[in-house]
Structure 1
Amino acid sequence: MSDLQVDAVFDGHNDALLRIWHAGGPDAIRRFIEGDEIGHIDLPRARQGKLAGGLCAIYVPSERVLDSEGNWPTPSRQEALEITTAMAGILTRIERQSEGGLTICRKAADIRRAMAAGSFASVFHIEGVEAIGADLDLLYLLHAAGLRSLGPVWSRPNLFAFGVPFRFPSTPEIGPGLSAQGKALIRACNELKIMVDLSHMNDAGFWDIAKISDAPLVASHSNVHAICPHSRNVTDRQLDAIKDTGGLVGINFGVAFLNPTGERDTALPLEVMLRHIDYIVDRIGIDHVALGSDFDGTTIPAALRDASDLPKLVDVFKRGGYDGDDLAKITHGNWLRVLERTWGG
């Protein structure tokens, strides 16, 4: 049994830093700490919903202009560097100003301590590393500043890999695999014990990472392709590889990635998430599924307004037959196990 409450949630992905950065200024940080009822997460609503921590993503948005093939444009390195450092600064300022309300965690033991103390256990994560150059110097600097998880790409190409475009219905077999720089990035992440996130990788990139990495394979916020055939979702073959390495899939709350029709239908019942969880459990086991909400980064079911409503989702899991150790594994235990194995210590 977990030493934490079984319904305490550690979440694999949120975009709260992007929302705060868009709002701008120190007042946005204060509102996140004190509560603002905007978006999906602030610290009071996290406490209310027993959202005890998660991977806080730094994501550099694309311009809202698609290219001729319907793909998102890649930001310049200078733009990415400015926005990445700004969001990293926001996370650090929240930790300092929240007076124990949020803790940036560098080890699994830090997460356990923060969750037990009622401090939001935050992991510094980057989604799309356009700010990092081929020399990887910035990777080492960011690691020293607390970076412990990254996705080489968002759903657009960069120096390192080809992010899978958003397509439905579609397999993830779109585009080439890792570049030479991308392979060097994965080796450096293994050296530094930085978790590599596969959620926006295309199929070729997934298998390149599987060949190189010595860490558990993780898709932090993706769903089951066999249920919802979106290019962002994980295929059966990928699920099997994730199991073989002791990794996990974090269930994404986004309706477009849950719905078998691919529609952004906010009336989608929460039981659809249970279908995805059941499928993963039946195929690769209870140890390989967790949560990766994508709060503040996607359209979620109306029945789950924000982080404060997470107990509703936990109740759905309970009605679906998950309780005790199994429920604790889904809500937080599997994440803690995988991060501990990836980071060491």
Structure 2
Amino acid sequence: MSPQVSHPVFDGHNDVLLRLRRSGQPDPAKAFLEGEKTGHIDLPRAREGGLAGGLCAIYIPSPTMAKDANGDFVPPAEADALAETLAMARLLFDIERRSDGGLKICRSAADIRRAIETGAFASVFHIEGAEAIGTDLDALHVLHAAGLRTLGPVWSRPNIFAYGVPFRFPSTPDIGPGLSDAGKELVRACNELKIMVDQSHMNEAGFWDIAAISNAPLVASHSNAHALCPHSRNVTDRQLDAIKDTGGLIGINFGVLFLRNDGIKDPGTGIDPLLDHIAYVADRIGIDHVALGSDFDGTTIPAAMGDCRGLKLIVDGLVERGFDAAALDKVTHQNWIRVLEQTWGG
């Protein structure tokens, strides 16, 4: 981390592990550590841009982009998903081992604070879509022992635990059924293990099922305000209010598809719509409940940002809108650390 960065960013979601896994690089860990010319994140660019760390997702794409009779993406088989999950987890562990202290896998809020203070990239082992986990939940317990600390039960497709909200515009997130019995057991097990349950990609019925079961703050790691962009992936005002009531947060997604009010995937979109979502959530439920959830390496972001080195544009834009230093600290990193500490304990 550059010592000139006054507001380090701890980010709620990135897909750098999948990008590295699919890159064809002979040594993807080395590529991340030494820097690349593609994608949104590597260690040198993170240091330059003030990206202090974040939730590093393990997401397993559908085997093909084909859809079932209901128009939903078909999830990978459990065995295939587990194999890919282990491969990406190994990649993350390999990066840490070879980073000479440049990246730390964090298992506590104290670990995150220490990493930021020492200039290490504070990485949290996250799973997006629980297809690698069976109903016996054996894999959940093993993955937790290996460092898993946050989990989204679904991506935008159904699995044995819940119904992931499909990508639709314009649409509410009220599409499909809620948690299955297995999904309810998964949430209870995550609460017991102190694993954060991520609501992003969850449909509305599933959101309220989790709200009824979970004893932890409600979190949507990379979603936006439905009132500004009526995409099915975004969060309604009622859901935002529930997030506030539990002391949770929403991490604002940089994807232009989830920012614009017309649903157009235009990389020429400027920074203002992103700032609008931050300001809207801060006004609606308070500055303590909004953070960043970029979706770097997993979505189309405003071209003006380029990659994680463009984070300064967000900070500068918020300053222009009257956000003071204390508010900037909360949005850029403190809110995430607070909620993770409250969820994980200690």
Q: Report the AA paired with residue 170 of structure 2.
A: P
CA distance in 2, matches of 1:66, 1:151: 21
Rounded Cα–Cα distance in structure 2 between residues aligned with 1:59 and 1:238: 24
Paired AA for residue 302 in structure 2: P
Kindly indicate whether residue 234 of structure 2 is the aligned counterpart of residue 233 of structure 1: yes
Is 1:168 matched up with 2:169? Answer: yes
Shift of 1:26: 4.9
Partner of 1:39: 39
Equivalent AA in structure 2 for residue 317 of structure 1: L
In the superposition, the TM-score normalised over structure 2's length comes to 0.97
Deviation string 1:244-301 (CA, Å, 9 cap, x unpaired) is 0000000000000000101001111101111111111111100000000000000000
Give the fraction of aligned pairs with identical amino acids, expressed as a percent.
68
Distance 1:178 1:70 in 2: 19
Matched, 1:17 2:32: no
Within 2, Cα distance between the matches of 1:324 and 1:5?
13
The offset of 1:71, in angstroms, is: 2.2
Q: Give the secondary structure class of the aligned counterpart of 1:147.
A: coil
Give the Cα separation in 2 of the matches to 1:246 and 1:37.
Answer: 39
1:5 Cα deviation from its structure 2 partner: 6.0
Q: Which residue of 2 aligns with 1:202?
A: 203
- Inter-partner Cα distance in structure 2 for 1:138 and 1:24: 28
Contact 1:6 1:327 in 2 (8 A): no
Per the alignment, residue 190 of structure 2 pairs with 189
- Residue 300 of structure 2 corresponds to 299
Instruction: Find the aligned partners of 1:262 and 1:180 in 2 and give their Cα distance.
Output: 34
1:202-253 CA distances to partner (integer Å, 9 max, x unpaired)? 0000000000000000000000000000000000000000000000000000
Decide whether the 8 Å contact of 1:74 with 1:156 is kept in 2.
Answer: yes
- State the distance in 2 between where 1:70 and 1:23 align: 29
> RMSD across aligned C-alpha pairs, in angstroms?
1.1
Alignment of 1:1-345 (within 5 A): 6-24=6-24, 26-62=26-62, 63-345=64-346
Structure 1 residue 67: Cα displacement: 3.1
How far apart are 1:66 and its partner, in Å?
2.7
What runs of 5+ residues in structure 1 fail to find an aligned partner? none
Q: Which amino acid is the alignment partner of residue 203 of structure 2?
A: N
One-letter amino acid of the structure 2 residue matched with residue 122 of structure 1: S
Give a deviation string over 1:14-53, Cα, whole Å, max 9, x none: 0000001112455121011100121000000000000000
1:140-185 deviation line (CA, Å, top 9, x unaligned): 1000000000000000000100000000000011110000110000
Name the aligned partner's letter for residue 138 of structure 1.
A
How much does 1:68 deviate?
4.2
Letter in 2 for 1:208: D
Cα distance in 1, alignment partners of residues 342 and 5 from structure 2: 22
Secondary structure, aligned partner of 1:44: helix
> What SS is found at the alignment partner of 2:241?
helix
- For 1:172 and 1:26, locate their aligned partners in 2 and report how far apart those are by CA, in whole Å: 41
The amino acid of 1:154's aligned partner reads W
Q: Measure the CA separation in 1 of the matches of 2:312 and 2:39.
A: 18
Gaps of 5+ in 2: none
Task: Output the CA distance in 1 between the equivalents of 2:166 and 2:59.
Answer: 16
- Mapped to 1, the partners of 2:57 and 2:272 lie a distance apart of 27
Judge conservation of contact 1:52–1:119 (CA < 8 Å) in 2: yes
Amino acid at match of 2:285: I
SS in 2 for 1:7: coil
Q: TM-score, normalised by structure 1?
A: 0.97
Distance 2:150 2:341 in 1: 12
One-letter amino acid of the counterpart of residue 116, structure 1: E
Distance in 2, matches of 1:273 and 1:22, equals 28
